[in-house]
């Protein structure tokens, strides 16, 4: 009889930077089964449930970022107390002071960990001196949980919500593990009322959760990871070795990869939360079906785009101060949105491209009345998709040299004649890309029908669906863990 290697088992519970905790790992499945068993015993006791879930969430974050879980605790303690000060203070100057203090703590952490090297590199470049980047670790998901916590203090400052009286409730809100490290960014007004209630999982909720987890696993571990490792990464690592045709398909592949990776995580996050009785907002709505850049941002990373709209764009004046000011506000919002994604010039360019696109659309719509019919819809979808793909080149490329090489190959060395050989060389990659895009463009009604089919299935059949997906993932996935793309943001 084989003995259990307790030392090896213990090591699974220790932070390993090469193997961050992700939903698609076998260890998370093992851990979650144990977690949910205990959760089923404590979920009716509100305070005990909050503490238990917070402790598990902090451990989950420890497995993703090591000792930097302390940042989560600092965020929770600081914003809980500052929010109470804001709420109980009538003096506007004192309330503004406490809000600014919250902004300084949250944005300060974000700037230090994410942008120190970026800003220092600019200073050194201006001074014409060589720059050796500081060894600063980027905690997973810091952009997400700082924005989420900030929305709480800002909403209290605006008197949109009342502060919580129990810090265990706020800690639960800030650290909730399904969406803590990669979203969706949840508003306190939406989530805190759920924290105070006894969770309930209906048969429909359970079915929807299974459906979302299966879809999320399929998107992430089957489509995204496979086309990334076997095609997209190779193209972006050295675009000059490939023809323009291969580079173009590399861009199409990345557009699908990042969608499947990010929306796959969101699907699993929403599904896992639903299994515990909590409802998270949708973060994606078939974004490549958009017929305009404006519509794209209503469908892509919905929680971030709505956060930027409500807390930045509208605060800048939105569209209330004339056309020129509206265009400027859009540019500022998208430039900061690009910088939010990463500390590099290419992310700023990516944000600028979308800002220009949004401003251009507003200008065109103000001077021309475009008829709305099926033809203009199809043309809008094609144009928008390719604009988004063009911008993705800047988002994905490691540097501007790669961007230039890719665009040069696509525009000057296309070689369409190799298409047949290209298909023969990457049959599985192209099949998964075709499958991914076909599934993405299916009507919403069809997707809802499939979801209802899973929901109405017997419990045993739901388990079979999940096991089939897990088995397929095991067969296809690489030996190394492939972290989610947005873990870096």
Q: Are 352 and 391 in contact (CB under 8 A)?
A: no
The pLDDT of residue 1: 44
The pLDDT of residue 356: 93
Stretch (H or E) spanning 408: helix 400-412
Query: pLDDT by residue (tens digit) across 144-170?
Result: 888 899 999 999 999 999 999 888 899
The token pair at 92 is 């506007």
Query: pLDDT by residue (tens digit) across 328-347?
Result: 899 999 999 988 888 888 99
Q: Does the annotation mark 341 as catalytic? A: yes
Q: Are 177 and 61 in contact (CB under 8 A)?
A: yes
210-239 in b/e form (b: 16+ CB < 10 A) is: bbbbbbbbbbbbbbbbbbbbebbebbbeeb
Average pLDDT, the chain: 87
How far lies 182's CA from each of 141, 281, 335, 387, 441, in Å?
6, 13, 20, 25, 24
Query: What is the rounded CA–CA span in Å between residue 240 and residue 243?
Result: 7
Query: pLDDT by residue (tens digit) across 359-395?
Result: 999 888 888 888 888 899 999 999 999 999 999 999 9
Structural Rg of the chain based on CA atoms: 23
34 φ/ψ angles, rounded to the nearest 5 degrees: -70, -40
Residues near 356 by Cβ (< 8 Å), separated by ≥ 6?
A: 331
The pLDDT of residue 444: 84
- Give all strands (DSSP E) within 310-408, no chain letters: none
How far lies 54's CA from each of 29, 47, 163, 176, 429, in Å?
19, 11, 19, 7, 40
Residue 20 has pLDDT above 80, yes or no: no
Higher pLDDT, 320 or 381: 381
Question: How far is CA 441 from its chain centroid?
Answer: 21
Q: Are 111 and 142 in contact (CB under 8 A)?
A: no
The token pair at 277 is 């009785």
Residue 480 has pLDDT above 60, yes or no: no
The pLDDT of residue 476: 64
Q: Are 102 and 82 in contact (CB under 8 A)?
A: yes
Q: What percent of the chain has pLDDT over 70?
A: 94
Report the 10 Å Cβ neighbour count for 410: 20
The token pair at 33 is 């089964």
The model's pTM is 0.90
Residues near 10 by Cβ (< 8 Å), separated by ≥ 6?
A: none
Catalytic annotation, pick one of 341, 354, 386, 415: 341
Query: What is the rounded CA–CA span in Å between residue 89 and residue 94?
Result: 7
Report the interhelical angle of 345-367 vs 323-341 (nearest 10°). Answer: 150
């Amino acid at each position: 009889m084989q003995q259990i290697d307790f030392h090896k088992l213990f090591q699974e519970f220790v932070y390993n930077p090469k193997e961050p905790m992700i939903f698609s790992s076998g260890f998370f499945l093992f851990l979650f089964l144990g977690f949910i068993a205990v959760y089923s015993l404590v979920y009716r006791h509100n305070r005990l449930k909050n503490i238990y879930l917070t402790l598990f969430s902090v451990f989950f974050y420890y497995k993703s970022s090591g000792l930097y879980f302390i940042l989560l605790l600092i965020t929770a303690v600081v914003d809980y107390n500052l929010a109470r000060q804001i709420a109980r203070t009538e003096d506007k100057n004192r309330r503004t002071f406490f809000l600014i203090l919250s902004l300084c703590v949250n944005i300060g952490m974000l700037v230090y960990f994410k942008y120190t090297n970026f800003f220092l590199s600019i200073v050194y470049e201006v001074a014409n001196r060589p720059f050796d980047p500081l060894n600063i670790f980027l905690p997973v998901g810091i952009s997400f949980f700082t924005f989420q916590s900030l929305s709480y203090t800002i909403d209290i400052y605006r008197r949109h919500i009342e502060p919580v009286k129990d810090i265990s409730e706020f800690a639960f809100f800030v650290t909730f593990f399904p969406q803590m490290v990669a979203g969706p960014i949840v508003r306190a007004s939406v989530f805190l009322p759920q924290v105070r209630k006894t969770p309930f999982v209906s048969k429909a909720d359970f079915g929807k959760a299974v459906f979302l987890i299966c879809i999320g696993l399929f998107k992430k571990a089957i489509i995204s990871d496979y086309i990334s490792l076997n095609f997209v990464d190779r193209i972006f690592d050295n675009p000059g070795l490939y023809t323009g045709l291969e580079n173009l398909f590399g861009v199409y592949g990345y557009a699908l990869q990042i969608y499947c990776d990010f929306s796959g995580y969101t699907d699993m996050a929403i599904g896992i939360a639903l299994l515990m009785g909590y409802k998270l907002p949708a973060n994606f709505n078939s974004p490549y079906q958009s017929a305009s850049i404006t519509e794209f941002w209503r469908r892509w990373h919905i929680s971030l785009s709505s956060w930027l709209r409500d807390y930045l764009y509208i605060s800048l004046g939105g569209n209330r101060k004339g056309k020129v000011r509206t265009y400027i506000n859009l540019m500022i919002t998208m430039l900061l949105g690009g910088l939010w994604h990463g500390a590099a010039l290419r992310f700023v360019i990516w944000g600028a491209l979308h800002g220009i696109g949004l401003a251009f659309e507003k200008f065109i719509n103000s001077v021309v009345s475009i008829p709305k019919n099926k033809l203009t819809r199809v043309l809008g979808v094609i144009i928008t998709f390719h604009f988004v793909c063009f911008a993705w080149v800047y988002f994905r490329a490691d540097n501007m040299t790669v961007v230039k090489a890719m665009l040069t190959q696509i525009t000057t060395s296309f070689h369409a004649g190799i298409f047949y050989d290209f298909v023969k060389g990457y049959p599985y990659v192209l099949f998964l890309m075709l499958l991914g895009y076909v599934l993405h463009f299916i009507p919403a009604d069809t997707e809802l029908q499939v979801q209802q089919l899973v929901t109405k299935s017997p419990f045993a059949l739901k388990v079979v669906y999940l096991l089939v997906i897990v088995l397929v993932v095991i067969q296809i996935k690489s030996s190394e863990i492939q972290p989610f793309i947005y873990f870096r943001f």
